């Protein structure tokens, strides 16, 4: 399976331009599975909730319509972030879309910082879908700080984790993605954005450094802190089914959950 990330700097408040960038990347990556950043269509730093609402869209909606057309041409599947609107409720969501259309939508469970003002936490749990017989899970950005999230995916047989992000804490996500991949023996595709956004005198700088991680924690592809990049790597998802650390130690079967409860 060929997996890829598309690290770029979405233009805040310019969804049409951002959608076009996503469609172009889907054509160029030649990947079976492409991961794009969190809130790829809108940008991240909303000055207020009305701004978030004005940039939110339904699923299906304008972004999925454009990218579905591209996915049909390329035969690829994309995981990308957008602000989702359902009725009066906004979610920080990641959409999985392939040649046959929308596969699923994941609504971010663990909201970060001011996201808690604009969005409602996800209400459907963690997402798992299948591609070419491979079990794939989706987490969004700050979900990475909760080891239970990744472990719950591993316990359900997930082999590859897609991780659309807008990371601002230096090296946090890059470090934890390696740890989560290693402790669960799963491939991990972290797609972060880069660049800076401002609201009056306040600013956010995004850390870039997207990466693809092997189940043993090895970095297979890694971007710079700044600049657009598409990196495509061929992986063998079967490697993520091997949970033995030694012939006597199995990462999942050796768990002692009776001692983990508080």
> Any residues with CB less than 8 A from the CB of 116 and at least 6 apart, and which?
none
For residues 246 and 210, give the distance between their C-alpha atoms in angstroms, rounded to a whole number.
Answer: 30
Active-site residue list:
38, 108, 141
CA dist list (Å): 74 to 60, 71, 151, 171, 216: 20, 5, 32, 33, 31
Strands 134-138 and 77-86 come out as unpaired
What is the torsional sign of CA 20, 26, 27, 28? positive
For residues 58 and 225, give the distance between their C-alpha atoms in angstroms, rounded to a whole number.
Answer: 32
């Amino acid at each position: 399976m060929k997996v890829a990330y598309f690290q770029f700097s979405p233009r805040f408040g310019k969804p049409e331009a951002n959608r076009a960038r996503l469609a172009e990347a889907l054509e160029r990556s030649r990947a079976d599975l492409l991961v794009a950043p969190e809130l790829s269509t809108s940008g991240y730093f909303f000055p207020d909730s009305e701004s978030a609402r004005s940039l939110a869209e339904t699923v299906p909606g304008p972004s999925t319509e454009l990218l579905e057309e591209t996915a049909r041409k390329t035969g690829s599947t994309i995981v990308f972030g957008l602000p989702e609107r359902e009725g009066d409720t906004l979610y920080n969501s990641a959409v999985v879309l392939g040649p046959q259309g929308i596969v699923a939508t994941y609504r971010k469970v663990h909201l970060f910082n001011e996201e808690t003002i604009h969005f409602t936490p996800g209400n459907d749990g963690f997402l798992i879908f299948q591609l070419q017989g491979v079990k794939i899970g989706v987490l969004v950005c700050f979900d990475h700080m909760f080891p239970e999230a990744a472990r719950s995916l591993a316990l359900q047989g997930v082999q590859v984790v897609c991780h659309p992000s807008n990371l601002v804490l230096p090296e946090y996500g890059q470090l934890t993605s390696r740890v989560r991949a290693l402790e669960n023996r799963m491939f991990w595709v972290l797609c972060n954005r880069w660049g800076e956004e401002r609201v009056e005198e306040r600013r956010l700088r995004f850390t870039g450094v997207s990466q693809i991680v092997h189940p043993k924690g090895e970095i297979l592809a890694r971007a710079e802190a700044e600049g657009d990049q598409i990196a495509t790597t061929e992986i063998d998802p079967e490697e993520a089914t091997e949970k033995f650390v030694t012939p006597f130690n199995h990462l999942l079967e050796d768990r002692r959950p009776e001692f983990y409860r508080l």
